Amino acid sequence: MRLRGRSSKEAAARFIVQLNTVRNCNRALRDKLRTEDVVGAPPWNRFHGGVRWLVHEIRQLCPARDFGTRIIARHIMRSGILISRMPVHRFLQEEPQPRQHGDAPPNLTNSTAPAHLIRPRNPHHVCYLDITSIRVLWLKLEVAAIIDGCNRKIIGIREFATRPTTEDMVKLIEDSIRTHSTPRFVDMDRGSQFERMFYAAMMQRSITHARCPARDWQFNAKVERLFWSLKRWWRVSLVPPNLTTIQKRLNDFAVWYNLYHPHTSLGMLTPSEAEFGSRRPEPMRYTEGGVLEPQITNKRHHVGDDPRLMYPVIKVEPRHRSEA
């Protein structure tokens, strides 16, 4: 700070630390404490060097632009290491360390829709259905998707060369029922495909047809978030203009999304893990002066033949420092 002539606020922003941390250091130096009490031995809450190495290796294995600091932190949390996004961001700005051995869900209270349709608690109770448009070179396609409202699992996704009709939407729901189960409610927007004929088809199958209220973005937000992830992947993927190949790529995306894409709202679980009630290990904070020494291995895999559908496989074996 003194060499560069920066203020405490500028130094905190530069080094990505809290403003109070900089002020406490200045206060300690003004009180003429010993130097080692301020900048000497590494503090007990300093992250272990193996965690820093893991962050850099994940960045090397998964250099895609969409694989950001939040996703890196989620995958590390799933492996049992306690970390947040800001340390990951700070580690990536540092020089890579040599390997050593050894966000709250949104507030939905302002919505006018019933709470059991927005926040379902049981799987296969409420499903969301919607349609979006994508482009593949000179082709414009329509993609329809249906997801489980409780665990965000994709239970049906299909592409159409033209705007899908009511019969197409009913067939998509029938296919999802055969592979999963019959939902109690199906929520959708106010498109022309979801009117009287669709309502009658749902009544025959004992499904309640719920349409999105006007100007209520929260009602169908989960499937819209799915389309956001789909389009980010689609924008950087080389997909041939062949309907059969496109459908195969969409199926690979659904497998990746269901099995390997963790969600903050699900407690860092993937949709399939949340569906079956799986539990991840409780994350631990590994520090330089701690009792446990982490033994970390990391590999990169991807779904199908698309390297963009990547995910790291992290294994952490805690060992006592005396044994290491």
**Tokens 């420092």, residue?**
321
Contact between 186 and 129 under an 8 Å Cβ cutoff? The reply is: yes
What DSSP string describes 266-308?
Answer: GTSB-HHHHHTT--PPPPB--BTTSSEEEEEEEEEEESTT-TT
Residue 108's pLDDT is: 42
pTM: 0.68
Q: Give the chain's mean pLDDT.
A: 81
- Is the pLDDT reported for residue 295 higher than 90? no
Q: What percent of the chain has pLDDT over 70?
A: 85
- Is the pLDDT reported for residue 234 higher than 60? yes
- 188 forms bridges with which residues in the sheet? 211
Contact between 89 and 73 under an 8 Å Cβ cutoff? The reply is: no
The model's pLDDT over 110-144, given as tens digits with 9 standing for 90+, comes to: 555 566 777 788 888 888 888 888 887 777 889 99
Q: H or E segment at 55?
A: helix 49-61
- 143 forms bridges with which residues in the sheet? 132, 159
Residue 255's pLDDT is: 92
pLDDT: which is higher, 184 or 213: 184
Low-confidence winner among 29-38, 140-149, 217-226, 259-268 (lowest mean pLDDT): 29-38
- Give residue 85's identity as a one-letter amino acid code: R
Domains of the chain: 1-41 (no CATH), 115-265 (3.30.420.10)
Task: Write out the two tokens for 156.
Answer: 């049906």
